[in-house]
Amino acid sequence: MSMFLRWLVFGLAALLFNFPLISTLLTSLKSEGEIVSNPSILIQSPTFANYVKIFEMADRFDILHFLWNSLVISALGAFFALLLAFPAAYVIVRTGFGRNWLLPFVLNLRALPLIIFAIPLYMMFQAVGLLDTLFGLALIMCIINLPLTLALLSSTLRNIPEELDDAARVDGASTLSIILRIILPLSVAAIASSSVLGFVYAWNEFLFGLMLTTKSATPITVGASFFFSASGGGVKWGVASAVIILSLLPPLVVGLLFYRSIGRSLTGGAVKG
């Protein structure tokens, strides 16, 4: 009986939390005519027409272009953060160098609203020609991802016994080869979690995508909103819903595949589970 109540509460919570997703998915499977005549959650005649229509609009809003931009920006953003954080995490953990300034500074970035830097970054990007480029946005994503990546990597490296380093040193290995041959293979799990989370964060970013792009580097979160602009005879709700579903799938799939590791990762290892 008490388990039944728990199932009930779970079902209610799951429904409430996921309601926008479910409802949008259902709308995307209705014809434009049915959306207007029947806004309920039941579908009279399901159709994939909206998903086909998205691609017929490619001359105005090219969804594949937006998706490609987001893919590149997110992958590069996660990769850059790893590239910068990994050597730093090694030095911080093994020598204590930077433990009192670099580590806290980066971790506290999580608490800083990045809009503070948005205006000067806009001006800098304009000055050096990074506005509306994938590389420029990937740099921003790298800032966003650094706190979590560094936190995850340093808490992982802390658990790799230093004896391994020492043994390799006795055999004449350099610091660089220790990092690449010993530490890197042992931190694959942390690298995977931070890549996944970094990818999801970057994919879902909106503010900088909105401010720093105009056309060629527009990410999908911004591109999806174009389909909701009423220009040219009102919003096509069916197409707009289908666009949303396609836009949210990549991070949702990646995130759910790795959902077990995300709980621990979110707090950067502060909560052990």
Partner 1 sequence: MQVSSKEKFWLTAPITFFLLVMLGFPLLLDLIYSVSEVTFENLLSPRLQGFENYLKTLQDPTYWDALAFSLKFGLTASLVQLILALFLAIYLEPLLARHPWLMAVLMAPMMVAPALIGLMYRLILHEFVGVIPYYLWEWVGDSPAFLGTENAFLTLVTIEILQWTPFALLIIYTAYRAIPTHLREAARMDGANSAQLLLLVELPNMMPVILLTFFIRFIDSFRVFDNIYVLVGSGAGGTSTSLSIYIYKAFFRGGNIGQAVAASVLLFLAALLLIALLERFSRRMETT
**Count of Cβ atoms closer than 10 Å to residue 232 Cβ:** 9
Nearer to partner 1, 64 or 263 (CB): 263
| Residue 52 C-beta: closest distance to partner 1, Å | 19
Nearer to partner 1, 25 or 186 (CB): 25
User: Which residue reads 């650094």 in tokens?
Assistant: 146
Q: Which amino acid, residue 202?
A: A
| Residue 206 C-beta: closest distance to partner 1, Å | 4
| Residue 172 C-beta: closest distance to partner 1, Å | 10
| Residue 91 C-beta: closest distance to partner 1, Å | 5
| Distance in angstroms between the alpha carbons of the first and the last residue of the chain | 29
The string over 54-73, giving b where at least 16 C-beta atoms fall within 10 Å of a residue's C-beta and e elsewhere, is beebeeebbbebbbebbbbb
Instruction: Calculate ∠ Cα 126-77-248, nearest 5°.
Output: 105
Nearer to partner 1, 124 or 188 (CB): 124
Q: Looking at the chain, which runs of residues are DSSP E strands? A: none
- Secondary structure of 143-168 as H, E, C letters: HHHHHHHHHHHHHHHCCCCHHHHHHH
| Residue 29 C-beta: closest distance to partner 1, Å | 13
Nearer to partner 1, 55 or 97 (CB): 97
Nearer to partner 1, 126 or 216 (CB): 126
Tell me how far apart the alpha carbons of residues 127 and 116 are, in angstroms, rounded to a whole number: 19
